[in-house]
Amino acid sequence: MLNVLAVTIPVFLIIGAGYLSVWRGLFTQGQVDGLMVFTQRFAIPCLLFLAVSTLDLAAGFDWRLLVSYYSGSLACFAAGILGTLFWLKRGAEDAVAVGFAAMFANTVLLGLPIAERAFGLESLTPNYAIIAVHAAFCYFTGIATMEAVRAGGSGFAGGLRTVAYSMSHNPLMMGVAAGLVVNLTGVTVPSPIEEAVTLIARAALPAALFGLGGVLVQYKPEGDARGIFLCCGIALLLHPAWTWGMGRILGLDEGPFRAAVLTAAMAPGVNSYLFAAMHGRAVRISASSVLIGTAVSVFTVSGWLLLLG
């Protein structure tokens, strides 16, 4: 157990340091926003570019890996919608927002550093394969469903256009796309450029973790306790459990299996709140689920790591 905590605690200590720094006024909200702009628009895209450009596509994009993880995402999305409709007794648009929050795991800011500490840098190929399509898959599912609900079932095409526009302007997706181009074409990146990109990429995860802690100060846990419990329970328990079961059924190899389950065990990401705020639905549930889910995941992620051995 101490070995497991040695993996998870340092990651959450960095998040806690960011939270306390902003909470106590040592780091302003404007400064943390600037830090997150750097990580989200520059450092993490550089990290993803480097990873995808050298990724073994045949090994990384194993259909069993993607089915195990993303069937779990869809199960969580459906569970969030049904739980909101029939347990929380709220409307369909709120249900889609809660379902999105339950589905959208923090695969990059939490998933990568914890997986690297747990299983080593060389184990991250399956993580990058999941991340490469994560935002596009979740936003397509969430926005298309929300548009369909709002249009009485006729908004699917509009949702598709919205997702396509959003993803084409998303720096993370640009980093993935550029990496794929280099990977597939075999183009050699000039050494000075590669070294510069590598230097920026090295700052990505620690800076992003600190910034995440600062961002979480904004998300006050307010009301809607049942909704928060529903969302966090689905994200932290159902998603990894489903992925575990599917991975075993499909005979997923041990390395990808561990990567899929551990990634599925991550708390809801900040995009959960952004999606809710964009649509003006279930904002308090989504914001509080990001904060509380991140805090609780110290224990749940440690538990899943213990089970994964």
Would you place residue 1 in the very low, low, confident or very high pLDDT band (cuts 50, 70, 90)?
Answer: low
Q: What pLDDT was estimated at residue 151?
A: 73
Q: What pLDDT was estimated at residue 153?
A: 54
C-alpha 301/C-alpha 5 separation (Å) is: 10
Mean pLDDT score, 261-274: 94
Name the nearest CA neighbour of 129 among 208, 196, 224, 64: 64
- pLDDT score of 221 more than 70: yes
Q: What pLDDT was estimated at residue 298?
A: 93
- Domain range summary for the chain, segments of one domain joined by +: 62-188+224-308
Task: Identify the weakest region by mean pLDDT among 123-132, 163-172, 234-243.
Answer: 163-172
Cα–Cα distances in Å, from 103 out to 1, 229, 239?
28, 14, 8
C-alpha 280/C-alpha 103 separation (Å) is: 18
Q: What pLDDT was estimated at residue 169?
A: 78
**What one-letter code names the amino acid at 53?**
S
Residue with tokens 């999105």: 100
pTM above 0.95, yes or no: no
Q: Among residues of the chain, what percentage have pLDDT more than 70? A: 94
Span 174-208, pLDDT tens digits: 998 999 999 989 888 999 999 999 999 999 999 99
Cα–Cα distances in Å, from 44 out to 4, 35, 106, 176, 199?
26, 12, 13, 10, 12
